[in-house]
Amino acid sequence: MRKSIATVSVSGTLPEKLEAIAAAGFDGVEIFENDLLACPLSPEEIRARAADLGLGIDLYQPFRDFEAVPAELLARNLRRAERKFQVMERLGADLLLVCSNVSPAAIGDDELAAEQLGLLAERAAEHGVRVAYEALAWGRHVNEYLHAWRVVRMAGHANLGTCLDSFHILSRGSDPIGIEAVPGEKIFFLQLADAPLLAMDVLQWSRHYRCFPGQGNFDLAGLTASVLRTGYAGPLSLEVFNDVFRQASAERTALDGMRSLIALEQRLGSAARPAVSAGPGAPPAPAAPAAPPAPTGFAFVELADGGELGEVLSVLGFARAGTHPTKPVELWAQGGARLLLNATGTEPALIAIGLDGPDPAGAARHAESLLAPVLPRERAPEEVKLEAVAAPDGTEIFFCDDAWLADFAPAEPVPDPESVPEPVPRPVPRLVTGVDHVALAQPWHYFDEAALFYRSVLGLRPQESLELPDPYGLLRSRAMSNDDGSVRMVLNLAQVGSAGIAWQHVALACADVVAAARRLRSEHPRLLLPIPDNYYDDLEARHEVDPELRRLGVLYDRDEHGEFLHCYTVTVGRVFFELVQRVGGYQGYGAGNAPIRLAVQHAEGHRTSG
Amino acid sequence: MRKSIATVSVSGTLPEKLEAIAAAGFDGVEIFENDLLACPLSPEEIRARAADLGLGIDLYQPFRDFEAVPAELLARNLRRAERKFQVMERLGADLLLVCSNVSPAAIGDDELAAEQLGLLAERAAEHGVRVAYEALAWGRHVNEYLHAWRVVRMAGHANLGTCLDSFHILSRGSDPIGIEAVPGEKIFFLQLADAPLLAMDVLQWSRHYRCFPGQGNFDLAGLTASVLRTGYAGPLSLEVFNDVFRQASAERTALDGMRSLIALEQRLGSAARPAVSAGPGAPPAPAAPAAPPAPTGFAFVELADGGELGEVLSVLGFARAGTHPTKPVELWAQGGARLLLNATGTEPALIAIGLDGPDPAGAARHAESLLAPVLPRERAPEEVKLEAVAAPDGTEIFFCDDAWLADFAPAEPVPDPESVPEPVPRPVPRLVTGVDHVALAQPWHYFDEAALFYRSVLGLRPQESLELPDPYGLLRSRAMSNDDGSVRMVLNLAQVGSAGIAWQHVALACADVVAAARRLRSEHPRLLLPIPDNYYDDLEARHEVDPELRRLGVLYDRDEHGEFLHCYTVTVGRVFFELVQRVGGYQGYGAGNAPIRLAVQHAEGHRTSG
């Protein structure tokens, strides 16, 4: 389907916006009037610029406070419209968005509204322009999409149709299935925006917190399917007002928007084909590749290493299980957990995630269809091919089956005396059974983009965003997982002073965290993060818990499904480890304990393990 | 009165918070439980730390979801309370805040609530603790302060009183005058927070947007006056949850909070003394210095100058009217506008504002009483003493009468050939009549602090905050003025990518902006900012305006009182000038045109004048 985006959705001057939008592969744009007004280029020059970039001007918007007004005001409004038609002719735009009137001067009279909109459509026709009338969620009298359609039908003018905007429909809780009552040829335009569910004034919600389809909580696929069932053949167009997008790179935002439309199309292709023919005007449903199954587990987690991590992994019970034949990468394993240490010499950081799945090549093609940058792999001829893409924050995502393990030769029995200055500590057997989750720190303007990436590319299901207090700010945190919980990720965004924090961590699943902590506390007393006694005074006031938790510094949480026991190592570089034990069907991540952990981490600074 | 603040109101670890709070001069603190839980110090150590700093622990908070529950849950809640009483004994805190129950387990039965709170108070008494019961605005059954008082009275226990929180009262629109129905000795605590008027869920509003008294829209003085009329003798305590304060410097936030309480006390001292004696327990109303009258006009605006500004001022019709005998400062004057150019050699920037007023010394003492940093003035013996303080962003504020002008000797007739490479352009007479307003760019975490500073120190009245779109973000803007509009200031906060913008400007009042622009456009075509034709296409569609505005690049706005004509110079360093003409009683600042100006400024970059 044709894909458009409103210029207000991305940052920059109008020419900058157009370039970013074209580069992301859009077919057309909605010109947001304020972007035009502030632009030194004439409408003719903008038209030429867009044409050079291969962009159609699909809509000019918005025209406000027109209909259902007293006669004297109508005359002024028609004069105002006449000027806009002239601008549109110069721009080469033939569709004008008219928002339902919000002014106190508007009269609650549908017949009057229809009559005046008909008059406007008649004038528009003289300029070759059509008018799309849209119900704003906060319109004074017309604020429901079916009401706008009723007025349009009453007017009965060929040049008057309706514009549907998913935000205005879904933010009011209206059921989009009623869209199927509108003939497709009378839906002149479809604007798509998602949004997180927020309990706030709908105008503020709309103006600051819209996001791309798949980033929020609305069912955009359901709504769009209803629109397509009518035979609607116009563009899918993004119209997003978002405070973060306003400040972020236009190129990046435009690409993110394109990804959201491709993902939407893919969902529609597999789930929302019209059950019956939608009539002679209906286009065929788009053919979209079926998404491969979600990943089935963590194949590995790769950490950059400056030489400090091997000892920590040894202490945690990992053993060196192999080395890469051509790269400075070691495989460390324990239970089902496999960690790769990449001797980059830099500060420890989480740099890559390997995901198991039945069809790695299919998963990579799917990622590529969603505009994920495919990473080149320089490899020796004998090495296994690994497909990888870059996540928004630069983390490399590998799609694996078991073949990759063959790359790793068994570990050399003699440790390198340079990298391990002391004898390797006695391994602690069977502490860890696998990787429970990884937590990634996101740059502030990638948070929604990352959620959409992991949702669309990996098929993970995002949970609600949480806000967790940190001593120096707030941490936004959003967990995502596949259906059986075998792949869990947590995206963190620190709004913490100007410094920010960029800690990442690997949470390792344990069968018995208390036993693990007992051993680690006694043998390596400085490895685990100390937890304040005051935390346990409160914990014991709320729950009956094993008094040993206090002695060991093991934290505790519970939900309606079960219990969660966990403890943390100190931070090494940007990385720390968590040991976690899920009892029963506990689904969370101990978010209530995160503020305690953050405060201790700040207090400890970047103390390395001992 | 005793002044307290909740530890949640400032950033940092608990010891850092206590230090900042003590440094700002508070008498006591409310210990917010989460701050304690995350702290490695024992309650005894925290008690000692606070005592060393001269801080009392006035309240321990919050204890949640206690009252009006089934018997089995009551037993668990009492056990939980018992643990908290033990912590409080160790802390040396004798007052516990209990918030009204928000849990679905709570029963809507006041008698049950009263009975169980009585039981809690009885247990508390055994530990020397008193209980202050507060209605949360989102409490399940009890969410009005008078309802909480009804329950407290019903319980009839000496150790049970009520806690009043201005946010919970005013956010619901409850009338605070009902407070006077509560005996002062049953008001155990008073928490103060202001907030901007926001149409959002009250819980989110409370948790993210509270601010200090005087920074928002609530009538804190009226509420506090009602509380004092009851004979309440406890502390005024700030409890503010604010996303910006969480990230800002604790020292700075604490000082800002203290300023807000001093300003509140000053308002109460002059306006809210009890009309009748409030009873034997009532303390005398606080003696506070009466605020001097607000400033009556701009004495001068001082600009740092690297040598570029003199020519711009000449072109704008200013003449050099004097030089300072000992400092590299020139006085430039035109009509009632006086600008000082301070040859610092740095990039042009607005560095100081002089304000006229009948009592400069009194104004300075008033500013000092509000913790404004007094600036040292090194001066020669013959120079006039000028009182000055620093505003939050570092701008120097001088309190003046006309004596300062005597410092400036008449200008030398011969211009310095070094600083003025070309002949000084022929002055354009009588363009400017005075200074209309100055606009200052604020660092992001000083915005509310600056509003309180100018409101309390200068007596300016803030208007609503506006959000204006910039091509690369949003600009928050808040205007403030004295009653007759002779002193107007605009505070701008740019949330614009990571770069930020820090443009400041001086708006000069003109009798005829069109005539001024006509002359400037013809004689100095590159001085005034070009305004896009597209702007005028829209302007002329909306209003009947002089077609010459388009040719001259003069912008236009109107409100219900009158009209506004204005144009801008290009930016020189961090500074530009605006020429403004108010027709009729226009009260605004042309905010609707600011996005146009910002877009052009970004496009022009930092082009210097020609």
Quick: pLDDT tens for B417-433.
455 455 555 554 578 99
Question: pLDDT of A402-435, one tens digit each?
Answer: 888 888 877 665 455 455 455 555 554 578 999 9
**What's the confidence (pLDDT) of residue B422?**
52
Distance CA B298, CA B310 (A): 20
Q: Give the model's pLDDT for residue B602.
A: 86
Whether B246 sits inside 8 A of A199 (CB atoms) is no
CB atoms within 10 A of CB A380: 10
Average of per-residue pLDDT across A468-476:
87
Report the alpha-carbon distance of residue A140 to residue A121 in Å, rounded.
21
SS3 B334: strand
Q: Do A532 and B243 touch (CB under 8 A)?
A: no
Model confidence over B103-137: pLDDT tens digits?
999 999 999 999 999 999 999 999 999 999 999 99
Whether the CB of A38 is below 8 Å from some CB of chain B: the reply is yes
Spatial separation of the C-alpha atoms in residues A209 and A243, rounded to whole Å:
7
The share of chain B scoring above pLDDT 70, in percent, equals 90
Closest CA to B244 of B393, B442, B391, B447: B447
* HEC letters along B238-287: ECCCEHHHHHCCHHHHHHHHHHHHHHHHHHHHHHCCCCCCCCCCCCCCCC
Please report the pLDDT score of residue B273 as a whole number. 44
d(CA B142, CA B135): 6
**A89 SS3 class:** helix
On whether the CB atoms of residues B149 and B162 are closer than 8 A, the answer is yes
High-pLDDT (> 90) share of chain B, %: 75
Give ipTM to 2 decimals: 0.85
Distance CA B569, CA B526 (A): 9
pLDDT tens for residues B190-223? 999 999 887 777 787 888 888 999 999 999 999 9
Q: How far is A138 from chain B (nearest CA, A)?
A: 13
Task: Summarize the confidence of residues A446-451 as an average pLDDT.
Answer: 90
The mean per-residue pLDDT over the stretch B504-508 comes to: 96
Is there a cis peptide before residue B62, judged by omega within 30 degrees of 0?
yes
pLDDT of B106: 96
**CA neighbor of A587 nearest in space, from A566, A567, A561, A568:** A561
**Using 50, 70 and 90 to split pLDDT, how confident is the model at B473?**
confident
Residue A186 dihedral angles phi and psi, to the nearest 5°? -95, -5
pLDDT band at A288 (very low <50, low <70, confident <90, very high): very low
Looking at residue A280, its pLDDT comes to: 47
| Residue among B16, B80, B200 whose CB faces A199 most closely | B200
Among the listed residues A320, A315, A266, A265, the one whose alpha carbon sits nearest the alpha carbon of residue A292: A266
> What percentage of chain A carries pLDDT values higher than 90?
75
How many angstroms separate the CA atoms of B585 and B561, rounded? Answer: 5
pLDDT tens-digit series, residues B38-54 = 999 999 999 999 999 99
Least confident of A290-299, A558-567, A573-582, B199-208: B199-208
Reading the block at residue A217, the tokens are 């909580």
Please give the DSSP secondary-structure letter assigned to residue B7.
Answer: G
Instruction: With a cut of 50, say whether residue A275 has pLDDT above it.
Output: no
Task: Tell me the pLDDT band of A291, cut-offs 50, 70 and 90.
Answer: low
Which DSSP string corresponds to B345-391?
SS--EEEEEEEE-S-HHHHHHHHHHTTPPBPP----TTSPP-EEEE-
Please tell me the predicted confidence (pLDDT) of residue A610: 31
Residue type, B523: E
Q: Which of A16, A32, A33, A39 to mutate to test the interface with B (most CBs of B within 10 A)?
A: A39
Q: What does the pLDDT average to over A196-224?
A: 87
- Minimal-distance CA residue of chain B relative to A542: B80
The arithmetic mean of pLDDT across residues A541-570, rounded, is 96
pLDDT at residue A284, rounded to an integer = 45
User: DSSP letters of B385-419?
Assistant: P-EEEE-TTS-EEEEE-GGGGGGSBPPPSSPPTTT
Task: Indicate the pTM of the whole model.
Answer: 0.88
Whether A540 sits inside 8 A of B83 (CB atoms) is yes
pLDDT band at B443 (very low <50, low <70, confident <90, very high): confident
Categorize the per-residue pLDDT at A445 as very low, low, confident or very high, splitting at 50, 70 and 90: confident
Q: Check residue A209 and give its pLDDT.
A: 84
A497 touches chain B (CB under 8 A): yes
Question: What mean pLDDT is predicted for residues A570-589?
Answer: 94
Residue B526 clears pLDDT 60, i.e. is over it: yes
Mean per-residue pLDDT for A542-570? 96
Rounded to a whole number of angstroms, the distance from the CA of B298 to the nearest CA of chain A is 33
CA distance A56 to A54: 7
Amino acid identity for residue A36 in this structure: L
**Contact by Cβ (8 Å): B266, B288:** yes
Let me know: does B307 contact B348? Beta carbons within 8 Å: no
Identify all chain B residues contacting A498, using CB atoms and an 8 Å cutoff: 247
Q: Which residues contact A293 (CB under 8 A, 6 or more apart)?
A: A357, A358, A359, A459
Task: Give tens-digit pLDDT for A368-414.
Answer: 999 999 998 766 666 777 889 999 999 999 999 888 888 887 766 54
pLDDT at A426: 53
Task: Count residue pairs from A and B with Cβ separation < 8 A.
Answer: 155
* Average pLDDT of the residues of chain B: 90
CA–CA min distance B508, chain A (Å): 24
Mean pLDDT of the residues in chain A: 90
- Report A:558-597 residues touching B (Cβ under 8 A): 595-596
Q: Inspect the interface and report whether the beta carbons of A13 and B38 lie closer than 8 Å.
A: no
Residue-level pLDDT at B107: 96
Distance from CA of A514 to the nearest CA of B (A): 21
The first and second tokens of residue A574, run together, are: 């940007």
Strand-pair category, A555-558 with B236-238: unpaired
Contact criterion met (CB < 8 Å) for B471 and A204 = no
Task: Report, as an integer, the average pLDDT of A586-592.
Answer: 95
